[in-house]
Amino acid sequence: MKAPLRVGIAGLGVVGGGTVKLLAHARDLLRQRVGREIVVTAVSARDRAKARGLGCEDVPWVEDAADLATRNDVDVVAELIGGEDVARRVIEAAISQGKHVVTANKSLLSKHGTALARAAEERGVALAFEAAVAGGIPIIKALREGLVANRVTRVQGILNGTCNYILTQMEASGRSFHDVLAEAQVLGYAEADPTLDVGGFDTAHKLALLTSLAFGTEVDLEGVTTEGIERITPLDIVFAREFGYRIKLLGVASATARGVEQRVHPAMVPLDTPLADVSGVFNAIVTQSDYAGKSVFEGRGAGEKPTASAVVSDLVDIARGLRLPAFVRPAAELEEARRSPTDDRVGPFYLRFQVLDKPGVLSIISRGLARGGISIESMIQRGRAPGESVPIVMLTHESREGDLKAALSLIAEEEVIMEPPCMIRIERFQGDK
Distance (Å) of CA 252 to CA 248, 307, 323: 12, 22, 29
Say how many C-beta atoms besides its own lie within 10 A of residue 109's C-beta. 29
Can you name the residues that pair with 422 across neighbouring β-strands? 352
The neighbouring-strand residues paired with 102 are: 78, 128
Q: How far apart, in whole angstroms, are the C-alpha atoms of residue 276 and residue 270?
A: 7
- The answer, yes or no, to whether residue 283 has pLDDT greater than 50, is yes
Residue 52 pLDDT class (50, 70, 90 cuts): confident
| 68 closest CA partner among 12, 17, 10, 108 | 10
Q: Is 111 a catalytic residue?
A: no
430 pLDDT band, cuts 50/70/90, is low
Question: Coil, strand, or helix at residue 254?
Answer: strand
User: Looking at residues 102-112, what average pLDDT do you find?
Assistant: 97
Helix extents (H) in 320-360: none
Over the stretch 384-422, which tens digit does the pLDDT of each residue have? 677 778 999 999 999 999 999 999 999 999 999 999 999
DSSP output for 30-97: HHHHHSS-EEEEEEE-S-TT-----S-TTSPB-SSGGGGGG-TT-SEEEE---SSHHHHHHHHHHHHT
**pLDDT the model gives residue 384:** 67
Is residue 432 pLDDT above 50, yes or no?
no
Question: Does residue 383 register a pLDDT over 70?
Answer: no
| Residue 178 burial class via C-beta count within 10 angstroms: exposed 0-12, middle 13-18, buried 19 and up | exposed
Burial pattern 363-380, b for ≥16 Cβ within 10 A else e, equals ebbbebbeebebeeeeee
Q: Which of 203, 169, 205, 171 is nearest to 181 (CA)?
A: 169
256 Rama sector, left if φ>0, alpha if ψ -120 to 50, beta otherwise: beta
pLDDT at 357: 85
Q: At residue 431, does pLDDT exceed 60?
A: no
Q: What is the Cα–Cα distance from 20 to 264, expressed in whole angstroms?
A: 34
Residues 286-337: tens digit of each pLDDT? 999 999 999 999 999 888 999 999 999 999 999 999 999 999 999 999 999 8
- Residues linked to residue 283 through DSSP beta bridges, in sequence order: 299
Contact criterion met (CB below 8 Å) for 94 and 116? no
Estimate to the nearest angstrom the gap between the alpha carbon of 179 and the chain centroid.
24
214 CA to centre of own chain: 14
Question: What confidence tens digit (pLDDT) does each residue in 37-49 have?
Answer: 999 999 999 887 6
Delineate the domains of the chain, giving CATH numbers in brackets.
5-132 (3.40.50.720), 141-300 (3.30.360.10), 345-426 (3.30.70.260)
Residues 6+ apart with CB under 8 A from 283: 134, 135, 137, 157, 158, 159, 160, 161, 164, 298, 299, 300, 301, 302
The one catalytic residue in 206, 248, 294, 358 is 206
* Sign for the pseudo-dihedral over CA of 30, 36, 38, 41: positive
Closest CA to 239 of 347, 366, 359, 349: 349
Q: What does the pLDDT average to over 80-107?
A: 96
